[in-house]
Structure formats: structure tokens, C-alpha cells
Amino acid sequence: MRAHPLALTLLLATPAFAADPWTDLQPFYEDLHANPELSEKETATAAKLAKQLKTLGFTVTEGVGGTGIVGILENGKGPVVMIRTEMDALPVEEKTGLPYASKNPGVMHACGHDVHMSAWMGAARALAQDKKSWSGTLMLVGQPAEEVGKGAKAMLDDGLFTRFPKPTAAVALHDNDKLPAGVIGIKPGAMFASSDSVDIEVFGRGGHGAQPHMTIDPIVIAAKIVLGLQTLISRENDPFDPAVITVGSIHGGTRWNIIPDSVKLQLTVRAQSQAVRDRLLTGIERIARAEGEGGGAPKPPTVAVPMSLPGTFSDPALAALVEPALRKTLGDDRVVVAKPVMPAEDFCLYEKAGVPTLVMWLGGVDPKALESGAPLPSIHSSLFAPPPKPTILGGVDALTTAAKAIFNAKR
């Protein structure tokens, strides 16, 4: 695989940083990894990012949408290019055994947001030190609370696109647990699925477990609902339209011989298209109500959707602009056609706010581990640990190349 040309050349000039970009990025990354903070509590993390941006000459505003930060670097006329990173970690106990493992018990950067922040900072340095090669306004956004789907909305509600210049385009990357470290995946269209959290409560008439004929058992009704939901995927959905329904939680009853009055279920629903998403949500309510009626429930089950995110897409024009730039700079061996995934992302809300968006996968797996065929830790795993240097420098390359391609596009 090729070296990292942008990461190794654009960061050479300034005396503020070492000639080798990894010399500065390594301690920055290891500090972020060792000191993770949960969603909406990223105070120290945000302060670290803000401090670094200020040294690069960015005008930095803190406390946007909670702990979010916005850095603006003006460099003449041209597009406004936004690069976003997430700052929050997950409630996961780290088991990697790394020398810089989390010092915060029960909290870990198991989704690679520390990688994202480091690549984001490396790209900020590269672009700040090579201002002759681009023209416009660079907007660096450090977003809180991505893991709970609240951060993008909070920043938008706090005036992200009114208090600051509205971007011409917004770019982000996400580490990938199936691609070799430093390899970039890009494609137009769907990248992350939509996500809907669904709560169902099934009602019955409780009583003694030894006299079920005197009750209406909501556990049995709930069990039928769980089985019936599977037919929405296996019998009603086109197998070429990705869709997932997972019952992640089911609670009812207090002991062996008591039939409860109600049972609660929690579902996550994922789809790559709005049509499939709408059909699944309608089908869930239909099946829940039908099983409740069939089981003689005293009243229909309630179905609520307390949290939703639409799908995240890469704008076709942006993907068509950036992909050849990536191939020219990184080489064809480091650029692949991305595959969409079923997890969700609130980066989609920037697109819904009227800004074209581009998401790129950032390979984060040791190539030798991929070749071995052994099971690999996935994102959100307590063992997830991308090889830092090739992964982060690959991210620097991707973000810097994408930003410059957008800045320098013919207008």
C-alpha cells in the first residue's frame, strides 16, 4: 500500500508541529482514548479540540448545542466546507489491554470517535498550513452526543447554520471494522440506515400462574408479537431492500407463579429506504394490534416511536467530485466502493437542514488480521482497537483531499 502523501507532505512546513505528523497526533489520540466522556458530558474533550484549533488560527466558539464547538478559518472567497467529528464515547468497559486504555471505568471510545477526532485535527492542521492550495471558509465542527442521536439536532437548534456560515458541503468519515487500515470507502447514495426506536406495551389481566384460564396472559401475546414481527422481514419485504427488526428488550412479570397485567417490548427498526421504513412501522402496529385482539386483550397494545433518525446519504455530486481526487492522491489500492451499513448516524440531520453531505468509510483493521480469517472485534465491542497510525493518517488524507476537492471545484 502507498504511503500517506498528504499527511506526510502538507504538515511539514510549520514550526508549531513536528515534521512527522504522527509525532503530534499520536499523543493527542492516546490522550483522547484514555480519557473518554459520555454523550452530553464531553466538556474536557471539547476543550482539548478547541485549544488545538485556536493554535492553528481558527476562530473558535464553544458551548454550541451543549458541549459542541465550531472553528472557522477564513481563507478568501470560495465555498464553505464543513468537516464534522463526533466527540462522545460509549458506556463500555474497555478490555483491549492497551497501555493507553480508558482511565474512566465503564466508558470507552468503542466506536472510534477518538480516531475521528484525531483525523479531523490532522486535516485541520494540514489545511491551515497549506492555505495557498485552497480558497474559501473551513468550518470545523466538534459534535456532542452522536451516540444518543441528539448532538446534531442540538447544534442545529442552537444556530449552527445561522450563527455561522451555512456550508456549501459537509464531510465526515466513520471508521470501518471490515476494511484494511487507511483504506477509504466512498459511494453515492445510502451509507447509514434509518433508525426508529419502538416501544410496545401489551395489556392483559393478571392472576395466578396455576390458573391461567382465569387470566389474559400478556406474555403469550407478546411472544406471538415477537414471532409475527419476523414475517415483516421474511415474508413482506423484498430481500433486496435491506431491513432489520430487532426486539432488544422484553419485560413482564415479577415471579414464577404470577401472570402480569402487562408486558413491555423495545425494538430497533432499520431500513435503507423511506418506503421500507414506512412499511415496517405500519406493519409493527398492525401485528401488535392483531395479536392483542386475537389474545383477547382488554385493550389494544400501545405502539410509540420515541426516537427516530432518517437514513444518512452521500450526495451523488459530492461523491463524483471527491472519488477521483481520492484515487489520484491516495492511489486506487486505497479507495474502494463503500458498502452501506445498518447502524444509524445523526449526520443525516445536516442534509435535512439543506446541506449536501458526504460520508466516507475509514478502514480500521490490521490487514494481517483480515487475512487470518479470525473473528474480529466490531465497533461497540470492548475489544475494538484500530491500528492507530495507518487508520488516523488515512483519515487525514481522506478529509484533506475531500475538502480541497470541494474548495477547488469549478464553480
- The answer for residues whose C-beta is within 8 angstroms of residue 58's C-beta and 6 or more apart is 71, 72, 73, 124, 128, 138, 140
- Grid cell 455530486 is found at 317
What are the residue ranges of CATH 3.40.630.10 in the chain?
Answer: 5-193+311-407
Cell of 18: 513536528
Q: How many CA atoms lie within 13 A of 379 on its CB side?
A: 22
**What is the phi-psi region of residue 296: left when phi exceeds 0, alpha when psi lies from -120 to 50, beta otherwise?**
left
CATH architecture classification, 5-193+311-407: 3-Layer(aba) Sandwich (3.40)
φ, ψ for residue 265 (rounded to 5)?
Answer: -120, 150
CA distance 38 to 91: 7
Q: Per-residue confidence of the chain (411 residues) as pLDDT tens digits?
A: 444 444 443 443 333 556 688 999 999 999 999 999 999 999 999 999 999 999 999 999 999 999 999 999 999 999 999 999 999 999 999 999 999 999 999 999 999 999 999 999 999 999 999 999 999 999 999 999 999 999 999 999 999 999 999 999 999 999 999 999 999 999 999 999 999 999 999 999 999 999 999 999 999 999 999 999 999 999 999 999 999 999 999 999 999 999 999 999 999 999 999 999 999 999 999 999 999 999 999 999 999 999 999 999 999 999 999 999 999 999 999 999 999 999 999 999 999 999 999 999 999 999 998 888 888 999 999 999 999 999 999 999 999 999 999 999 976
Instruction: Say if CB 58 and CB 69 are below 8 A apart.
Output: no
What are the residue ranges of CATH 3.30.70.360 in the chain?
Answer: 194-309
Quick check: pTM over 0.85? Answer: yes
CA distance 61 to 69: 6
Helix or strand run (H / E) with residue 350: helix 348-352
φ, ψ for residue 252 (rounded to 5)?
Answer: -170, 140
Amino acid at 266: Q
**What is the phi-psi region of residue 379: left when phi exceeds 0, alpha when psi lies from -120 to 50, beta otherwise?**
beta
- CATH fold for domain 194-309: Alpha-Beta Plaits (3.30.70)
